[in-house]
Structure 1
Amino acid sequence: MTIVKNRFILIIIIVVTMSVAIQQSAKALSTKDAYRGLVQGPVLNTRYFFPDDPYFSNQWHLDHLARPDANVVSAWGNGYTGAGVTIGIVDDSLQHNHPDLSPNYVAADSFDFGQNDGDPSPVFADDNHGTSVAGVAAARGGNALGVTGAAPEAGLAGLRIDFANQTTQMFVDATLYHSSGANTNIKVKNHSYGISAPYIDSTPEVNALQTSAGAGTIHVFAAGNERDDHGLFSGSDGDANKKHMQNVQETIAVAALGWNGTFASYSNWGANVFVTAPSSGSGVGITTTDRTGNNGYNSAGSGDGDSFADTNYTSIFGGTSSAAPLVSGIMALSKQANDNLDVRMAKHLLAMTSVVVDEFDATETSDGGWTANAAGYKFNQNYGFGLINADAFVTHAKLFGGVSPLVTETTGLITVGSAILDAITSGVTPSTLSRQFSLSTSGMLEEIEIDLGITHTYRGDLQATLTSPWGTTSRLMYRNITDSINNLDWTFTTNAFWGENPVGDWTLTVEDWFSIDTGIWDSFSVFAKTGNLFTPVPEPSTIVLFGICLSGMAGRYLWWRQKQRREVQKRSVTNV
């Protein structure tokens, strides 16, 4: 047999007869532990990709043995690059003539909602953000130029918002554009923006998200960067569950993991956070595309703190703004693997495959550290279900046909009408007021939503917790002494009960943490949402799988990298 470097030289045809009985048995699985057995078996390899881009070695968030990367190289090794999937970048611009973005740019699916034309290029001097976001998601890989994105062959659609002159309608239109109605070309949309203040109603945008997600689009949101300001400045809150667009079922809220393997100092937390991805932290940034020349973040001789020599790229990008598009790129890889992937299916897969990091985290914002619920899922409000693992996520996506229809049980409006007493010891021991309610619809919980109505003279005093019949407890929102606004009427979302059977008696508790102000707990209502993954159930059939034998430097690297990763993962606590 002749060995040819970096070529596929051996095709093995494997005939597999799939049993309907086995598939039907798998369909009945309802817990995380039961899903574990499904990851074994052959995986369809189509084409091996490994980047020859010169700055790939700087992209630690994609591949690094000693640091927490997203494990995309193994997914690429199974042939998934995002080809055929378009990612919409809802942002301040996309410089589509950038040499590392132009090969993936899809003009027909792009639009500028500020200038009302089809060109999402930068308009203002500070329109830098979207070009860097786009590079993290889907800069062209394998072109011997610059960097690669997580989905190196996915399409890129620029959906420009004029942030300097923004209107609600711009965000609504960008959310719906080519991902609803007759045109659903854009399968994944990235939203690396948010509102720093808590409890801002965004109903028009949320309605658009629900419409678009209903058409199959996966919407990924940055969880936000307000952690550092929480409790210090009014109008800024680090609890992502107080952000409307980030806490609805139709979006995936992404927190940021720093270079040192713990949550980034700026990264928001919350019961609604779903997953974590690597981003800037501990003095190390993300290397990605920048506006060309001296127009972007990296300007030669400007003292901008970026020492990267090639000013078409920046090495100081970051925030949850960078964590989100990394997840968006991985969504594109999985959408290529399974066209049935939607946001609900993606969430099930993320809960199953994400990796526990910072195992001994006991910070207050974590809500008790890593907690395993009755279904076996581990959750931490700083990280959601953990660090995204692209290879495991894509592998699992191939195993399932979709997710069952959503079932929602609601309690209706429950009137409380009871006084919330002042804190017992301000900032130390809160007053508490609890109510019980019951749910009766059996199934596997996805999100559970709690609509709280409270009359109070200082809403920042308040926290609330929810306890399931299985004893799992989740904090719904975290107090903020600088939030002096009156009253609270908000729907909170928690993922901490994912997979649990909701049947039984639940306890909802409201707490007052700071002295002087008091209030009335008026009412609440509950929406428990259940559903589960299902496997395809074909008739007995013969499926031809093509195994690919690799040689040369790329093949040896993949073998070595996977061997080293297995050694690292032996010492990791995972959610799988």
Structure 2
Amino acid sequence: MPPRAPPAPGPRPPPRAAAVDAVDAGGAGGPGLRPLAPRPWRWLLLLALPAACSAPPPPPRPVYTNHWAVQVLGGPAAADRVAAAHGYLNLGQIGNLENYYHFYHSKTFKRSTLSSRGPHTFLRMDPQVKWLQQQEVKRRVKRQVRGDPQALYFNDPIWSNMWYMDSYASYDVNGNDYDPSPRYDASNENKHGTRCAGEVAASANNSYCIVGIAYNAKIGGIRMLDGDVTDVVEAKSLGIRPNYIDIYSASWGPDDDGKTVDGPGRLAKQAFEYGIKKGRQGLGSIFVWASGNGGREGDHCSCDGYTNSIYTISVSSTTENGYKPWYLEECASTLATTYSSGAFYERKIVTTDLRQRCTDGHTGTSVSAPMVAGIIALALEANSQLTWRDVQHLLVKTSRPAHLKANDWKVNGAGHKVSHLYGFGLVDAEALVTEAKKWTAVPSQHMCVATTDKRPRSIPVVQMLRTTALTTACADHSDQRVGYLEHVVARISISHPRRGDLQIHLISPSGTKSQLLAKRLLDHSNEGFTNWEFMTVHCWGEKAEGEWTLEIQDMPSQVRNPEKQ
């Protein structure tokens, strides 16, 4: 996945640990806790809409590796026996996912466009094997500026370990060891994690470089982008010591090319769920994510299943003067914003760099995510009992529109001002910490599912297809009744000859309109969407009951022959 810095432009006591992508290297209120407001629960809206136009062809061939994820019941000893019986090496449990193991087969091609057969068929037939998956290579990029003209070149390979002051919070998933130090080369390709880490936790009063936002925090690094990225690699990275690490800051994701639709696989999804349910002794791991740098390519971050997840805090960027950066993507899942780079006359971000250096050229949404991670660390320093959902509520309450310039600012039904560019606004560190000190944990999370008529229907070209769902917010089920909204998810399936022509909006009973998808001129795919989960935070705090409206438009950017659809 790409790191989240843009491509190069034209003209408790202190929290125990935070982890960043080092090569780039959420929740339940406890018993007896009073709610801050009446029952702040999340509603899940599932809208299944198969819009039939044409059957999508099979996707491009994947690249398979010689690594497998295998579900084996009976514990590590049973997994070892199964692996040995079929000629595999068991590399151990995948993160904290019980009964899931990482198998390696030395006699299989390291990379191939064909999935493997032979002994792997017998592995699938083994009665102790409940599920297995040959691992495919995923395209992941760092969200930094590509071709950064500020990159320094030095030929003295001094290994900088400054940002790994707490080795227990670090791991090299690519090399399978405990040293996440970046691999050095002439281009300083792996500067990304060091720069992000410096923003968070650079030491204070050491007469060197900068002061980190949470300079009392301990920080480690997870090296996971310097090799083939698979579902196993991501699951391991997202689940490193969840009862020791409080905050995971990720400045990477699927390609921000304006045509990719991708997100976490089965194992990575389970790692997210494990983190928010069991991480931080049940308070929930906090995942902070850079929203993406595909603005120049007309990308939309709702097509990124990491920033679009209810479990992540999706962070966007603004320039020092409050303008939209040229690389910024818009979507309804963005929660908040911090500063980053902009036009050539606007300043970039200063931080630590490779080879014991400093830089004033850090850029992209890669910058903004660790800033928020550092500010959240300050909030946990003030109140270590905040749940993963408390943190999101605090960001919604204390972030402010300030001087941020956007044409789509609106006030939702609960009185929150929100934008598709900036979420609820600029993160205010002082307000967040002050509020955290007196915060009362929100009650347990409830989910309510509303379904629409699942009969296939066609989307008229240029016209609007509307479908509605009427819900009582599960009022008949007191254990799941939704008092007011946090995240709203619309699960949608659409078949379409050119996915980039689609626009999707969701309108809440209070009248708040969220853009779930905008046109993407570079997305020529005919794969459509299959149970894709679009998420919006724009209805935060509103009542859930009433009529919801989903609007889908097909706005062709080129002439299509209806008879061939």
TM-score (norm 2): 0.67
Work out the CA distance in 1 between the residues paired with 2:353 and 2:260: 31
- Alignment-derived partner of residue 200 in structure 1: 262
Q: CA deviation at 1:335?
A: 1.0
Q: CA deviation at 1:143?
A: 2.4
The SS at the match of 2:337 is strand
User: Are residue 83 (structure 1) and residue 14 (structure 2) matched?
Assistant: yes
Partner SS for 2:332: coil
- After TM superposition, the structure 1 stretch with the greater mean CA deviation from structure 2, 122-131 or 374-383, is 122-131
Code of the aligned partner of 2:239: L
Residues 265-321 of structure 1 show CA distances to partners (whole Å, capped at 9, x for unaligned) of 11221000111011112232111000125xxxxxxxxxxxxxxxxxx1111011100
- 2:420 is aligned to 381
- Whole-angstrom distance in 2 between the partners of 1:414 and 1:349: 37
Q: Deviations over 1:112-133 (max 9, x none)?
A: 1111111110124221110001
Structure number having the greater helix percentage:
1
From 314, 320, 323, the counterpart of 2:368: 323
Counterpart among 171, 180, 183 of residue 120 in structure 1: 180
Q: Match for 2:218 among 155, 167, 172?
A: 155
Rounded Cα–Cα distance in structure 1 between residues aligned with 2:405 and 2:198:
33
Specify which structure has the bigger relative contact order, considering alpha-carbon pairs within 8 angstroms and separated by 6 or more residues: 2
Q: Which amino acid aligns with 1:217?
A: S
CA separation in 2, counterparts of 1:380 and 1:201?
Answer: 23
Residue equivalent to 1:351:
396
Whole-Å separation in 1 of the counterparts to 2:404 and 2:368: 20
Q: Which runs of 5+ in 1 are unaligned?
A: 1-79, 231-236, 294-311, 363-368, 424-430, 520-576
Which residue among 318, 335, 340 is the counterpart of 2:385?
340
**Where does residue 544 of structure 2 map in the other structure?**
502
Contact 1:100–1:289 under 8 Å retained in 2: no
Counterpart contact for 1:93–1:121, Cα < 8 Å: no
Q: Partner residue of 1:280?
A: 341
Q: CA distance change for structure 1 residues 484 and 84 in 2, over 3 Å: closer, same or farther?
A: closer
Residue 242 in structure 1 maps to residue 298 in structure 2: no
- Preserved contact between residue 456 and residue 518 of structure 1 (Cα < 8 Å): no
Please give the secondary structure, in 1, of the residue aligned with 2:469.
strand
- Does the 8 Å contact 1:85/1:335 carry over to 2? no
Other-structure match for 2:289: 221
Which residue of structure 2 lines up, in the alignment, with residue 570 of structure 1? none
1:92 to 2:23 alignment: yes
Separation in 2, partners of 1:167, 1:507: 37
CA distance in 1, matches of 2:253, 2:405: 30
Letter in 2 for 1:465: H
User: Does the 8 Å CA contact 2:159/2:355 hold for their aligned counterparts?
Assistant: no
Aligned letter for 1:189? Y
SS of match in other structure, 1:511: strand
Deviation of the 1:88 alpha carbon? 0.7
- CA-to-aligned-CA distance 1:183-205 (integer Å, 9 cap, x gap): x1000010010112532142232
CA distance in 1, matches of 2:241, 2:543: 37
Q: Is the 8 A contact 2:24 2:226 kept in 1?
A: no
Local SS of the residue matching 1:228: helix
Contact 2:174 2:224 in 1 (8 A): yes
Cα separation, 1, equivalents of 2:270 and 2:321 = 38
* Conserved 8 A contact 1:223-1:240: yes
Question: Would the aligned equivalents of 2:15 and 2:246 in 1 still touch at CA under 8 Å?
Answer: no
Any conservation in 2 of the 1:91–1:192 contact (CA below 8 Å)?
A: no
Report the AA paired with residue 84 of structure 1: P
Distance 2:295 2:199 in 1: 23
> Per the alignment, in what secondary structure is the counterpart of residue 467 of structure 2?
strand
Matched with 2:554 is: 512
Match of 1:3 in 2: none
Give the count of matched residue pairs. Answer: 395
User: What is the Cα deviation at residue 422 of structure 1?
Assistant: 1.2
Q: Return the offset for 1:264.
A: 1.4
TM-score under structure 1 length normalisation: 0.66
Within-5 A mapping of 1:154-553: 154-179=217-242, 184-196=243-255, 197-203=259-265, 204-214=267-277, 215=279, 216-230=284-298, 237=299, 239-283=300-344, 284-292=347-355, 312-358=357-403, 361-362=406-407, 369-412=408-451, 414-423=453-462, 431-441=463-473, 442-486=482-526, 487-489=528-530, 490-514=532-556, 516-517=559-560
Does structure 1 retain, via aligned residues, the 8 Å contact 2:254–2:263? no
Q: Find the counterpart in structure 1 of residue 79 from structure 2.
A: none
Share of identical aligned residues, percent? 30
Alpha-carbon distance in 2 for matches of 1:379, 1:208: 30
In structure 2, do the counterparts of structure 1 residues 496 and 93 end up closer, same or farther at CA, with 3 Å as the change threshold? closer
Is the partner of 1:268 in helix, strand or coil?
coil
Which stretches in structure 2 are left out of the alignment for 5+ residues?
A: 1-11, 26-156, 474-481
Counterpart amino acid of 1:249?
A: I
1:453 Cα deviation from its structure 2 partner: 1.1
Amino acid aligned to 1:341: L
* 1:43 corresponding residue in structure 2: none
- Please give the per-residue CA displacement for 1:90-147, whole angstroms capped at 9, x wherever unaligned: 2315699748536xx1012211111111111012422111000100111112323221
Give, in whole Å, the separation in 2 of the partners of 1:336 and 1:359: 28
After superposing the two structures, state which structure 1 stretch, 386-395 or 256-265, moved more: 256-265
* Superposition CA RMSD, Å: 2.1
Distance 1:437 1:517 in 2: 31
